[in-house]
Structure 1
C-alpha cells in the first residue's frame, strides 16, 4: 500500500529578528551569530501569530495545495509544540473545527523538534492498520523563542529558535511523492538536560518565580550535555538517515536531497559530506532560524520552489529534538509512474 504527500503548507510570520539584534541581546560578537550559529535573521511571532493559529494557516494552504475538500480528511494529527494558546488543550480538534474537517477525528502528539518525522511515521501506520483512513492532515505550529533568555549563556545554542507553522496532506493508494520507512532514536540520558524548571508539578509557577525570570528554558548541565552530545549527535544523524534509506530499499548513492533542521553550519555540512552531497543538495535555513518541528517541511517547500528536487529524487528529512531524539524518513518525490 502506497502513502504519498499530496499537499504542503507553510506559514511564516512577517516579523524578523536580525543577527545584529541577536548579537546585541546575547552580548555576542556578530561573527559568532552569523558564522558559528549560522544566522542572518530568524522568524519571530507577531501579535496574532499564536502557535495553533499558525498551524491552521498552514493547514488551509496545504488543503488548497492538495486540491481537496476538507471533508475528505479522515484524521488530523497536531505535531506542533505544547507551548500554545492554552495549556491542557487538544490543538488537533481546534484545527479540525477551523478548517472544516467535519468527517475527521483528531489528536496531538509530541516529540519536541522531532515530532514531524514521528507524525509522518504514525500517519502511515494508521493508514496501513485501518482501511477507513485514507487522508490525513498533519499540522503544527511553533514559537518557543518565547522561552529564550538571551542573558543566559547556557542556552546560546537555542538562540536560533524562531516561529512558524507547517502542514502536510497524506493520502493512501497514490503514486506520487511516496513516503517510505523511517528511523527514530531516543536517548534518555539527556531527558532532563534542557527544560523549563518551573510551571510543572515539581515546581508550580508562582508570581514570584515568574518575576524572577525562571519561566524560561534552561540547561541543567551545559558542559556535561555538550560533551555527551559531541560523542553521539552527529553519529545519530547519520545513523537514522542510513537506517531509513536501508529500510526503504534505497542505496545511499541514490540520496539526492536532505531536508535538515537548522543547526550550526559545520554540523549541517558534516551530514551532507557523509553522504557525498553538496550545498545544493540541501537548504541551510540561515534566513529562518530553527522553527522546531517545522524545519523539515519548510526545507522541502523551499527546495521545491527553487527546483532543487526533480521527479524521481530520493529525499531524506532528518530531525533532532531535546530529550534527546533523532529521526529520519525517506521520500521519493514525483510520480512513480514516471
Structure 2
C-alpha cells in the first residue's frame, strides 16, 4: 500500500460504527471582473485560437486592485456555510499560495470576517493540490474529535503573481475561491470521505515556483521584479501532472475497492483542458463523467476543485450517492486524490 494512503475502513466497507468526516456544504465565489481571451491576446503576443486550443480556456475572473485572497475566501466561506445549513465551524483552513501577507496567516482574518470568533485557523500551502491536502487535514481533525465542523477554503488570487505578458501563465490563471464544510458523521452516509492518497517529489520543486520572496531569496532593493513572478516549466508539468494524478486515482480506487467503471464523477484540478482529458483517457474514464469548468474560470489553483464542485452542484450535475474521485497536482511537486460518495446538498 502507498505509505501516503489513508482509508476509512468503516466507510469503505459500508459500516456504520466508525466516526467519519462528512462533506456537509459547498460554495464558490468569483470576483466580478471577467477577462476574455480577446482582452489579452495582444498583451501576451498570441491568438485567441492558440489559447483555446492549448488550454481550453475562454475567459477567467480577475481580482481588482482592492480585492485580496481573504475577500475571495470570505465569499466562498459564506456560501459553503449556508449550503451546510448555517453551521458554525470551529476551525478554518485556508489553502492558498497567495496569502494576503507572508505573515501572518490569512485564515484568522477570514475567520474574523465570517464572525467565527475564537475558531482555530491556519493556512496550508500545497499550491494546486492544497484543497486535497486540506481535505485530509480537515478529515483528521474531525475524526480525532479536535474539531466539530471545519470550514476548508481553497482561495487564490494567482493573477497577483503572474507576469501579465507571459503567454504560458497569463493566459491560464484566474482568481477565485471555493469552500466546503466538513463535519462529523456516520461512516456509511453519503458525503463521507472514504480514502486519501497524498504524495510529493521535491526534486521537481523548480518546475513551478516564484523564485524570490522567501527565506531562500528574500526581496531586496536589487531583486528583479520578474523574480517575484510565477515561473512554470509547462511541458515538464504536463507530463508529471498526467502521470501522478492517474497513479494517485488508481491508488485511491484500490483503497475503496472501486473499479474505474464504478466512478460516476472524476473532478480533477482544473490545470488545462488537455491535462484533464489526458488523465481521464489514461484512467479509461469516459469524457461525460469528467467535471470541468475551466473554460469559464481558467486555472484557479487551490480554488479549482471546490469551484468545480460548487458549479456542478448548482447545475445539478453532481447527484447524491455518485461515486466521486477528486485529484490534483501542484507545485512542490505535490499530488493527491480523495474518494467519496457525493452527498445531498442545499
Structure-1 residue corresponding to 2:181: 169
Shift of 1:276: 2.8
Structure-2 residue corresponding to 1:312: 321
Residues 256, 38 of structure 1: CA spacing in aligned structure 2 closer, same or farther, 3 A cutoff? same
Structure-2 residue corresponding to 1:160: 172
Q: How far apart, in 1, do the equivalents of 2:181 and 2:71 lie?
A: 18
Shift of 1:257: 0.8
Structure-2 residue corresponding to 1:78: 94
Q: How far apart, in 2, do the equivalents of 1:41 and 1:30 lie?
A: 11
Structure-2 residue corresponding to 1:144: 158
Q: How far apart, in 2, do the equivalents of 1:30 and 1:145 lie?
A: 19
Q: How far apart, in 2, do the equivalents of 1:286 and 1:320 lie?
A: 19
The question of 1:196 aligning with 2:196 is answered: no
Alpha-carbon contact 1:180-1:331 (below 8 Å) kept: yes
Alpha-carbon contact 1:280-1:308 (below 8 Å) kept: no
Residues 207, 6 of structure 1: CA spacing in aligned structure 2 closer, same or farther, 3 A cutoff? same
**How do 1:1-338 residues align onto structure 2 when only pairs under 5 Å count?**
1-70=19-88, 73-81=89-97, 83-129=98-144, 131-152=145-166, 156-157=168-169, 159-174=171-186, 175-209=189-223, 212-219=225-232, 222=233, 226=235, 228-229=236-237, 231-273=239-281, 274-334=283-343
- The 3-state SS of whatever aligns with 1:286 is helix
Residues 184, 207 of structure 1: CA spacing in aligned structure 2 closer, same or farther, 3 A cutoff? same
Shift of 1:188: 1.5
Shift of 1:315: 0.7
- The 3-state SS of whatever aligns with 1:247 is helix
Deviations 1:250-292 (A, max 9, x none): 2221101111222332321122232332235322411100000
Shift of 1:135: 1.1
Alpha-carbon contact 1:111-1:321 (below 8 Å) kept: yes
Shift of 1:181: 0.7
Q: How far apart, in 1, do the equivalents of 2:121 and 2:222 lie?
A: 37
Alpha-carbon contact 1:76-1:96 (below 8 Å) kept: yes
Shift of 1:103: 4.9
Deviations 1:118-153 (A, max 9, x none): 011111112222x24221111232111122224346
Alpha-carbon contact 1:320-1:327 (below 8 Å) kept: yes
Residues 114, 121 of structure 1: CA spacing in aligned structure 2 closer, same or farther, 3 A cutoff? same
- The 3-state SS of whatever aligns with 1:177 is coil
Residues 138, 229 of structure 1: CA spacing in aligned structure 2 closer, same or farther, 3 A cutoff? closer
Flag structure 1 segments of 5+ consecutive residues without an equivalent. none
Residues 77, 230 of structure 1: CA spacing in aligned structure 2 closer, same or farther, 3 A cutoff? closer
Deviations 1:100-127 (A, max 9, x none): 2235212221111101000111111122
Q: How far apart, in 1, do the equivalents of 2:49 and 2:75 lie?
A: 35
Residues 5, 209 of structure 1: CA spacing in aligned structure 2 closer, same or farther, 3 A cutoff? same
Flag structure 2 segments of 5+ consecutive residues without an equivalent. 1-18
Alpha-carbon contact 1:53-1:141 (below 8 Å) kept: no
- The 3-state SS of whatever aligns with 1:45 is coil
- The 3-state SS of whatever aligns with 1:108 is strand
The TM-score normalised by the length of structure 2 is 0.86
Residues 263, 79 of structure 1: CA spacing in aligned structure 2 closer, same or farther, 3 A cutoff? closer
The TM-score normalised by the length of structure 1 is 0.88
